[in-house]
Amino acid sequence: MSPNPHVAIVGATGAVGAEMIQTLERRRFPAGRLTLLASARSAGKSLKFRGEPHPVQELKPDSFRGIDIALFSAGGGISREFAPRAAADGCVVVDNSSAFRMDDRVPLVVPEINAADIAAHAGIIANPNCTTAITLMALYPLHRAFGVRRIFASSYQAVSGTGARAIEELRRQVAQIVAGQPVTREVYPHQIAFNVLPHVDSFLPTGYTKEEMKMQNEGRKIMHHPSFRASVTCVRVPVYRAHSIAVSAEFDKPVSLDAARAALQGAPGLAIVDCPEKSEYPMPLFVAEKYDCEIGRLRLDCALDNGLCFWVAGDQLLKGAALNAVQIAEELLRLPR
């Protein structure tokens, strides 16, 4: 691959697509050329990259000829249709949807954890679920030190994980409540303002949602840990940006707070913010627009053997999506030519 690849962004006008453009620029990714792709209704718009306007083109089957790397963030249906076409044209796809995550032929990658898996790609590499990625940024260093058996977790997921319409719905509902007006809803089945919804994604026959099972299924693949178990409740909260997760983890080996902090200290992409006596702990308000995830509220679990509780927060548009995709692209440039 060229050291200055031709990069395409599919879904360039969406929230994650916009973050991908900004992340490529901020990290000084050496793109020799950038092509922006989206639906026909977005074609003709112009977005800036490195100070220059770039027109948005309509996504078509032949859009990937001459493209080296394509970052996809346009939904599973688009990915299933166009990612194989792109790969057939010699393009390497980094896909942000769930379409290929559990495909045995497709690496599922968090670069801080399993960057080596990228070398086995056959044209498509998957980005994990945003909540999974943020959780594993904190869990994996502990797993390396103590060997995780299982976790019990609850997520606190921002409305931006649903998209731009959900952000607008929260803003509108807050204004309606303040003004004493009837609350209207379009995106969520219930009011999200001043409320929490224990419902993210569709329900399965087990009573879990698809989102909740991603933590276990994707975690097993990313950590190369087939016996990992995760019981998760995913909750949508009235926060605009950044997800948080409360985790109780049980390990094979005894764990102490000092040993846990030693395992976490210096972990790439992770900052320890843990001084409760000064009210210092990770919060979505302060991790929004940051590359690093943050971990805090570390304590020994009083209900599990070899257990540790922690709270982790991260920007799901960045580490949970755009940043992780760009990091994968950076790793692709490091592969032997």
92 lies in the same domain as 175: no
Q: Tens digits of per-residue pLDDT, 243-298?
A: 999 999 999 999 999 999 999 999 999 999 999 999 999 999 999 999 999 999 99
51 lies in the same domain as 181: no
The predicted model scores a pTM of 0.95
Catalytic residue among 91, 130, 234, 293: 130
Helices (H), 121-163: 130-146
196 lies in the same domain as 138: yes
Give the DSSP H/E element, type plus range, for residue 88: helix 76-88
Tell me whether residue 302 is one of the annotated catalytic residues: no
- Taking the CA of residue 20 as centre, how many other CA atoms within 13 Å lie in the half-sphere pointing to its CB? 34
296 lies in the same domain as 209: yes
303 lies in the same domain as 165: yes
Kindly state whether residue 247 falls inside one of the protein's structural domains.
yes
38 lies in the same domain as 169: no
110 lies in the same domain as 158: no
The answer to whether 162 and 187 are in contact (CB under 8 A) is yes
Q: Model confidence at 337, in pLDDT bands (50, 70, 90)?
A: confident
Tell me whether residue 243 is one of the annotated catalytic residues: yes
Kindly state whether residue 112 falls inside one of the protein's structural domains.
yes
Q: Model confidence at 320, in pLDDT bands (50, 70, 90)?
A: very high
Instruction: Look at residue 163 in the predicted model and tell me its pLDDT.
Output: 86
Instruction: Look at residue 2 in the predicted model and tell me its pLDDT.
Output: 86
pLDDT average, residue stretch 83-106 = 97
State the DSSP code for 119: G
The answer to whether 295 and 310 are in contact (CB under 8 A) is yes
96 lies in the same domain as 203: no
Q: Tens digits of per-residue pLDDT, 188-197?
A: 999 999 999 9
Which among 319, 302, 306, 146 is positioned nearest to 245, based on CA atoms?
319
227 lies in the same domain as 99: no
171 lies in the same domain as 271: yes
Kindly state whether residue 136 falls inside one of the protein's structural domains.
yes
198 lies in the same domain as 306: yes
Kindly state whether residue 222 falls inside one of the protein's structural domains.
yes
55: domain CATH number is 3.40.50.720
283: domain CATH number is 3.30.360.10
Number of independent structural domains in the chain? 2
d(CA 192, CA 271): 30
Sign, Cα dihedral of 173, 156, 318, 119: negative
Domain limits at 165? 132-316
Instruction: Look at residue 1 in the predicted model and tell me its pLDDT.
Output: 78
Q: Percent of the chain at pLDDT above 90?
A: 96
162 lies in the same domain as 308: yes
DSSP string, 228-265: -EEEEEEEE-S-SS-EEEEEEEEESS---HHHHHHHHT
Kindly state whether residue 1 falls inside one of the protein's structural domains.
no
Catalytic residue among 143, 234, 243, 293: 243
